[in-house]
Amino acid sequence: MGDNGNVDIIMVRHGESEWNLKNLFCGWYDADLSEAGIKEAQDAGDHLKTSPYKFDIAYTSGLKRAQNTLATILERSGNTHLPIVKTWRLNERHYGALTGLNKVETVEKYGAEQVAIWRRSYDTPPPEMHEDHQYYDSIRNNPNLKEDGPTPQEFPKTESLKLTIERTLPFWNNVVVPKLKEKTRILIVAHGNSLRGIVKHLDNISDQDITTLNLPTGIPFLYTLDANLKPVVSMKFLGDPDIVAAAIEKVANQTKKK
């Protein structure tokens, strides 16, 4: 907690997943971390261990790439005692019919502008995933989503950032905000687009400006919020600025040919 009644919260996107490594649209497919992603999680934990930030509770999604990133961070930072709450509302946005497609090949098929709209626009979702989709069953029947999963009516077939925010914000407002008001020290490990939604909300970023925001994998960032939960520090990455910039650029360039 800050001296003047402010409250800190640390958030981090999961480490690189096996599907990030293959440059596939992942969404709700339950890919695990790649070797590099495990190392990113270890480095994040080591960094937090030597940082001034302490935690009372951690929140993560219903997907193993975030859950395993959190477990590694907690282990490396000496926080294995921390209570953990998992919720589907922190899941990555559902990428619909694009799930499993290679990002560069998708650009070759549909064009860079259309893919940029699907990836980063505010309210244009990718095409829906139908029941005959290769990954429909593994996503719909994921045991990881049974504990605190969406109702059948809530289970998405695709999501825009807007739709993602609409299911993430109830969790933020009903669970996280009361804890922040009690000055609870929170760590959130989630996904690129669920975190983009939280950042958009906290910094009141416009629907247009959010299209340019990319979040790197595995690098924690700090928000310091005042008594009204307005940011006094926004998205301050805990790491070497050059490394952070390169990691952000890497995400932005996933749709470009190597």
Ligand X SMILES: O=C(O)[C@H](O)COP(=O)(O)O
Looking at the annotation, which residues are catalytic?
A: 14, 92
Using CB under 6 A, count the residues that bind ligand X.
12
Residues 6-45: x where in contact with ligand X by CB under 6 A, - otherwise, as a string: --------------x----xxx------------------
Residues β-bridged to residue 24: 102
Q: Strand, coil or helix: what is 253?
A: helix
Q: Which residues, 6+ apart, have CB-to-CB distance to 80 below 8 Å?
A: 74
Question: Closer to ligand X at the Cβ: 89 or 185?
Answer: 89
Instruction: Give the burial class of 147: count Cβ atoms within 10 A of its Cβ; 0-12 exposed, 13-18 middle, 19 or more buried.
Output: exposed
Shortest CB 184 distance to ligand X, Å? 28
35-49 helix and 64-76 helix, angle to the nearest 10 degrees: 40
Cα–Cα nearest to 198, from 217, 216, 173, 218? 173
Among 122, 193, 197, 198, binds ligand X (CB under 6 A): 193
Enclosing H/E stretch for 152: none
Shortest CB 183 distance to ligand X, Å? 32
For residue 251, which amino acid is it?
A: V
Residues 222-251: x where in contact with ligand X by CB under 6 A, - otherwise, as a string: -----------------------------x
Q: Which residues are annotated as a binding site for substrate?
A: 13-20, 65, 92-95, 103, 119-120, 192-193
Site residues for ligand X per CB under 6 A: 20, 25-27, 92, 95, 119, 191-193, 251, 254
